[in-house]
Chains A and B, each alone.
Chain A
């Protein structure tokens, strides 16, 4: 087992563990913080798999922006009554059944996958420069669409935020 493989397993363990803890927290702020750890782990994993730019983006956007957003929201919400059963059985049981089936299917897919998938991966790096050029050369249209999406989302979020205040006015 190479160092890289060891690192991979280590990072996987960190990611899965922190995610597992995150989703079982009663306190939302704790959950978000654990998830930040998970995203950091993922960022490192990306770096390991040869995607430094993505690793940076992961840290900046996921662990940074998105999680901070979550934190803000969590702080704005005053939860008087925390979820009584954290994992209600009515939802737990179907989810578990589904999960078992899902994992079984995944396992089957992996077992019967092509043999090439069982060979360890060659390491390679897509440097930010090359990757950026590739992105804008090959997927410029998608980039434009994504930017449009972001614009729409910006306006949408604004609108939703404003509607709330409008709705509240007649109530008060």
Chain B
């Protein structure tokens, strides 16, 4: 007798897989059917997610269904679903955004020759992401973690004729893989000590007894390495801006709201386990802070609209990690949820502009009349305000929660960094908004460079425009209203947490200070970009040093490039390939040549002058005689 919850969960998980299989095997020739199938499948997932939320939203006990998928010696790999408030919340978020983005893509991707493939990969992603969300053990989570990375690779490189896109896909895959290696090693370490990878088992306090404290810290940091890769944190942060080469809906779905958030989700998932090691938590906090600030500075100088949001994604993910690492489970998850909403909205709005004006350059969009696209621009402004943390939007509440957690830290530097981050965030967000709202019409450059090679007809059918606008409006709702649900969410999430959530002191000055910082950023942006005679050049752009530093991503990319070129390509790879050709093969070929040469030398005895042969013969006979008779 199958439980309804299990049936719902399985339906929700397997529907996208089925859609993927059908699309890739049978339906490649009929793109519209593929799109419909994919949307229906993810709609089914959303339905089952909502059903599960309704059934289990109130119950404090997590549900786990698990079967043994594979047994090999002592190793047993389970497969199943794990339903607790966190996974349910995440599942709803993922399914919702997947659905909205897929609907939006109907308009955005209309007419693309690879539409069927696009929806196939989207279904693959939906399956992998949902299964990751519901994974009951770390190994299953890792499996889908990798699959999510794979679909990210495939979708970034979707327009594979563009060199930059394939390059970005490769970079994304390899860099996240670097993190995954750490993650896998962490899993191996945990497995070697604990013998079990169930998330529930790992999240008990008894785990600490199975480890040496230092080993535990190492294991946690290794797993955190996976988070760093997937969530594009310092030092593996540069793949995410490049990943914007993919179609904009992909960026909205994977590279802002869901996939990159999987790292943060993993942190939250293992939050009790992580909090066993204060050292590791401190490292996580530092990494989150550095990533947040670095990415924010990078966002201040770029003119590519998608890149700005990509940097801001990194920055906000770092902010979530700060919240989690500073001890507030709720703050991190809450910010994750609100961020998913408003960041997806930001990307989708950006997609409308890019689609319409065929450029990624925010200045060019503004000059070409970006403000005539009223609905997207309003939505984007709303979302940017939420991103900046202005009341009363959702971002304000979640940011405030994180700030509170930071304020509870003994060292005030974290709070200072957080406030600085809020200031920078507001600044770069509204820099973009103001550049589109209030363009300078002085130099009427009407030939924007076509950075988005994806061509399409300008005269769009009405339904395509509509299909792109509806998701915006739908997403704007949570951006407006999610903040009001803070207390509900808090109690809902707390039910799933085994340890007690630390009660944070209520600091009345904190919301004011935080929004004050954000407001300051906004005002600075207004002075530099918004007002009538604004210089339209940011303070960071004035100095060539800072500008190149920020635009070159603090030279991190260049460092990696040099690393790959010098150490790997020209160093180790050359060493190995050269070693193969010259040392090993050289030795073998030398052996062969030696054999031939010695053969020649011996055969030379038969080719010298006849008298020498005679002499040799006699010499041999004489020595034989010596040997036999003496």
Contact = CB atoms under 8 A, between A and B. Distances in A.
A95 B622 contact: no
B622 A101 contact: yes
A77 interface: no
Given A98-B622, A101-B622, A102-B622, A109 B615 contact: no
B615 A98 contact: yes
B75 interface: no
Nearest to B612: A91
B626 interface: yes
B618 interface: yes
A149 to B, nearest CB: 22
A108 interface: yes
B625 A105 contact: yes
A98 to B, nearest CB: 6
B622 A91 contact: no
A91 B611 CA distance: 8
Contacts of B625: 105
Interface majority SS (helix, strand, loop, mixed), chain B:
helix
A94 interface: yes
Nearest to A98: B619
B615 A105 contact: no
Contacts of B611: 91
Interface residues of B, number: 10
Contacts of B545: none
Given A102-B622, A105-B622, A105-B625, A91 B615 contact: yes
A49 B615 CA distance: 32
A94 to B, nearest CB: 6
A95 B622 CA distance: 12
A105 B619 contact: no
A15 to B, nearest CB: 21
B459 interface: no
B622 A94 contact: no
B350 to A, nearest CB: 91
Contacts of A109: 629
A15 B27 CA distance: 109
A105 B618 contact: no
Contact of A98 (B618, B629, B630): B618
Contacts of B619: 98
Interface string B604-615: 000000011001
B618 A108 contact: no
A88 to B, nearest CB: 10
Contacts of B615: 91, 94-95, 98
Interface in A62-97: 91, 94-95
A108 B622 contact: no
Nearest to B609: A91
A39 to B, nearest CB: 22
B578 to A, nearest CB: 46
13 contacts: A91-B611, A91-B612, A91-B615, A94-B615, A98-B615, A98-B618, A98-B622, A101-B622, A102-B618, A102-B622, A105-B622, A105-B626, A105-B629
Q: Which 7 A-B pairs have the closest CB atoms?
A: A102-B622, A98-B619, A94-B615, A101-B622, A105-B625, A105-B626, A91-B611
Interface of A: 91, 94-95, 98, 101-102, 105, 108-109
